[in-house]
């Protein structure tokens, strides 16, 4: 997928994620109910921590991906070290707007020829941040898709990529999970022949296979990030199981709370989440 130049500027295909931290809007609305400026600032800081921690967990997992790549022979072989910089994905950008986290990376294959490295990193880091956030009782819901995008300013994009990710979060996710769009799933599900003499071909194929281990389909065929993936356990270590148990407890408690309150919509949402977390 190459870059193109037109009246919109530099256009390229990108992967984009739109993640909504549920419940944060209510906390934001409550901020100015504080009686003093100090109390209002304290509430603002507490609400902001949800976003900061999600982004921090994403960045921590992104760095941990380098160790996984080494263990799984995904780093550039010694004989190809002069090509090392080109045998990587494009830079990943992460931004926040209110209670929303937006993640994206270009899929262009210009100077860097392994865009699927960026896809793999975004998927696994988002899944880890999602589980950490659930363990802190801040559920996340989102969508990740690919599409055309144009650079707005440095690090910001505009176009169908982000719009499709937003629609997935709003229309398809339904409960606290992160779903993948059809175009993205087709992108990682390709079965191209591996050409041994072309290192970028081999690495893209390996990353595509890794990406597929991070997702699953629900009973309706919707593709979602799988918090039961072995890669999360490998990246997060012992804390993975602690986070999973806390997430299970949180989902069960929310299901009970909303059932007691007679809120059928939220009861159903957390019942599905609880069922998923408790069964692989």
Q: What mean pLDDT is predicted for residues 228-250? A: 92
pTM: 0.88
Asked if 229 and 218 count as a contact pair (C-beta separation under 8 A), the reply is: no
Residues above pLDDT 90, as percent of the chain: 50
- Lowest mean pLDDT, pick from 16-20, 157-161, 192-196: 192-196
In a shared domain, residues 146 and 61: yes
112-126, 167-181, 246-260: lowest mean pLDDT where?
Answer: 112-126
- Give the list of residues 6+ apart from residue 38 with CB closer than 8 angstroms, or none: none
Domain check: are 181 and 228 in the same one? yes
Q: What is the CA radius of gyration of the chain?
A: 20
Q: How confident is the model at residue 2 (pLDDT cuts 50, 70, 90)?
A: low
Distance of CA 172 to the CA centre of its chain: 15
- 34 and 142 both lie in a single domain: yes
Query: In which domain, by residue range, is 114 found?
Result: 4-237
Same domain flag for 172 and 251: no
What's the confidence (pLDDT) of residue 80? 53
The verdict on 191 and 252 lying in the same domain is no
Per-residue pLDDT reduced to its tens digit, 81-127: 555 566 788 889 998 888 889 999 999 887 778 899 999 999 999 99
Q: What is the pLDDT, as a whole number, of residue 76?
A: 52
The CATH number of whichever domain residue 34 belongs to comes to 3.30.70.1230
Looking at the fold, whether 198 and 165 belong to one and the same domain comes out as yes
| For residue 226, pLDDT beyond 50 | yes
Domain match, 118 and 252 both: no
pLDDT given at position 7: 46
Residue 224 has pLDDT above 50, yes or no: yes
Q: Are residues 219 and 251 in the same domain?
A: no
Residue 87: what pLDDT? 77
pLDDT at 108: 86
Same domain, 133 and 266: no
Cβ-count burial 148-161 (b if 16+ within 10 Å, e if not): bbbbeeeeebebbb
Q: What is the pLDDT of residue 260?
A: 95
Give me the mean pLDDT over the 243-264 stretch.
96
pLDDT above 50 for 154: yes
Same domain? 248 vs 203: no
Give tens-digit pLDDT for 62-86. Answer: 887 766 665 555 555 554 555 556 6
41 & 118 share domain = yes
172 & 278 share domain = no
Give the number of domains in the chain: 2
pLDDT of residue 82: 53
The three-state DSSP-derived secondary structure of the chain is CCCEEECCEEEEEEEEEEEEECCHHHHHHHHHHCCCHHHHHHHHHHHHHHHHHHHHHHHHHHHHHHHHHHHCCCCCCHHHHHHCCCCCCCCEEEEEECCEEEEEEECCCCCCCCHHHHHHHHHHHHHHHHHHHHHCCCCEEEEEEEEEEEECCCCCEECHHHHHHHHHHHHHCCCCCEEECHHHHHHHCCCCCCCCCCHHHHHHHHHHHHHHCCEEECCCCCEEECCCCHHHHHHHCCHHHHHHHHHHHHHHHHHHHHHHHCCHHHHHHHHHHHHHHHCC
- How much is the mean pLDDT over the chain? 85
């Amino acid at each position: 997928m190459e870059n193109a130049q037109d009246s919109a500027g530099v256009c390229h295909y990108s992967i984009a994620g739109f993640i909504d931290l549920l419940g944060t809007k209510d906390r934001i609305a409550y901020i100015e109910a504080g009686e003093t400026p100090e109390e209002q600032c304290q509430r603002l800081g507490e609400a902001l921590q949800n976003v900061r921690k999600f982004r921090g967990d994403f960045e921590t997992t992104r760095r941990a991906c380098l160790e996984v790549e080494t263990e799984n022979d995904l780093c550039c072989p010694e004989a190809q070290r002069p090509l090392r910089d080109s045998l990587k994905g494009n830079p990943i950008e992460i931004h926040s707007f209110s209670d929303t986290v937006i993640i994206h990376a270009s899929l262009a294959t210009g100077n860097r020829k392994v865009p699927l490295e960026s896809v793999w990193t975004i998927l696994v880091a988002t899944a880890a941040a999602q589980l950490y956030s659930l363990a802190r009782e801040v559920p996340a819901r989102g969508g990740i898709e690919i599409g055309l995008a144009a650079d707005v300013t440095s690090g910001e994009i505009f176009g169908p990529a982000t719009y499709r990710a937003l629609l997935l979060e709003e229309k398809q996710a339904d409960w606290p999970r992160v779903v993948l769009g059809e175009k993205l799933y087709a992108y990682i599900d390709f079965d191209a022949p591996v050409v041994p003499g072309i290192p970028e071909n081999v690495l893209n194929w390996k990353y595509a296979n890794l990406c597929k281990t991070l997702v699953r389909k629900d009973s309706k065929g919707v593709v979602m990030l799988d918090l039961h993936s072995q890669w999360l356990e490998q990246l997060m270590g012992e804390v993975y199981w602690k986070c999973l148990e806390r997430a299970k407890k949180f989902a069960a408690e929310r299901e009970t709370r909303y059932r007691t309150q007679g809120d059928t919509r939220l009861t159903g949402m957390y019942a599905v989440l609880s069922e998923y977390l408790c069964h692989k």
